[in-house]
Amino acid sequence: MSCGIVGATSLLGRELGTALSEAGFTRLRLLRSPEEEAPARERKLTDFAGEPALVEAFAPEQLADLDVLFLAGGAPSARRSLAAARNFPVTIPATIIDLSGGLAGEAGAVTAGWDGAGRTAAASVRVPARLMVVAHPAAQALAHLLAALDTLGPHRSCATVFEPASERGWEGIRELEQQTVRLLALQSQPQEVFGVQIAFNLRTQLGEEAAPSLEAVRARIAGELARLRAPASVAPALQLLQAPLFHASVISLYTQFTAAVDAAAVTAALSGPDTEWHEQDPDVTAVADASDADNARLHLGPPRGEAGAPGGFWLLATLDNLRRTAASAVACALALVQDRT
């Protein structure tokens, strides 16, 4: 199967390359995002998935013989790529997998969850679909957790998601790093990406120029979570905070069951190959220290009962946000391979 990656040198593009290599995909065409300024035919030698590789300029004709096109740049890059490809309808690949969330509003777009399985607002969809949009990692994690908790009976939940800087790519990582260093040196801080100081802060909103806004990201998570959940499921209350984290998403989840449920039952329901339990609440180092094979897992601390509220439990979960997005995109591609065999 021939695959292309637009935005191959982005933070997410490099993570995707590693995940594809581990899954056995070797026929990869690496393309810059359409907005990257460079001579039209310039090729650049780079390190990709541990091997030297050429990254080429984006052009619609580069898509002619691809079976799958991954869009790993930002949302604007995904929209520009699709618009450019549609000017040459013959060249559009059989399947487009968008890792940015930028194409969620396109007709026929299907939201891909934890295992690559797709859903629309109405029903589940068998992969491969024409356009798969990989859900935000927090939406995937919450859908995964809540589906397991559903097996224990009716419940209501509320969640606080702590968003890392890496969700905004290299630019977000660099700005958080520069803010941290300059703040300690009592110097002015760059705010081009977030519009506010996020170093040593928790933010409920960003500066007016920040795109996307935190509310837009929260709305995206809520919408994707609704599509990934069963139609009759009760939507959790959801809060999103910008955290001064370079990497890894953190989720604090409270669930109140209507019937008597104990901590052992919660642990059993959530246990499986995609979760790793810790004796204490995990922090982001649990993700950073994990092996490559474990990085797409959810790291969970022990369920903690709420005093005076039988059947109420707190959970703290962490996950590698980039690895999770890449893993779901690869799962979509693997489903396509299976469909062809």
The CATH code that applies to domain 3-136+326-340 is 3.40.50.720
Q: Where in the chain is the domain with CATH 3.30.360.10?
A: 139-321
Topology, domain 139-321: Dihydrodipicolinate Reductase; domain 2 (3.30.360)
pLDDT digits (tens, 9 = 90+) for 154-209: 999 999 999 999 999 999 999 999 999 998 888 888 899 999 999 999 999 999 99
Query: Amino acid letter at 24?
Result: G
Least confident of 112-116, 134-138, 235-239, 240-244: 112-116
Q: Which residue has the higher pLDDT, 128 or 229?
A: 229
Output the pLDDT for position 289: 64
Residues 296-323 have a mean pLDDT of 92
Q: Where are the alpha helices (DSSP H) in the chain?
A: 11-22, 75-86, 137-150, 169-184, 214-228, 263-270, 284-288, 321-340
Output the pLDDT for position 194: 95
pLDDT at 292 over 90: no
Output the pLDDT for position 341: 59
pLDDT at 227 over 70: yes
Question: What six digits make up the tokens of 282?
Answer: 């995990």
For residue 23, what are the CA distances in angstroms to 3, 37, 98, 207, 305? 13, 32, 18, 39, 39
Output the pLDDT for position 33: 84
Q: Which residue has the higher pLDDT, 173 or 58?
A: 173
DSSP string, 261-328: --HHHHHHHH-STTEEE-SS---HHHHHTS-GGGTTSEEEPPPEEPTT-TTEEEEEEEE-HHHHHHHH
Q: Where in the chain is the domain with CATH 3.40.50.720?
A: 3-136+326-340
Q: Which long-range contacts (CB under 8 A, 24 or more apart) does 174-179 make?
A: 176/244, 176/246, 177/246
> What's the mean per-residue pLDDT of the chain?
86
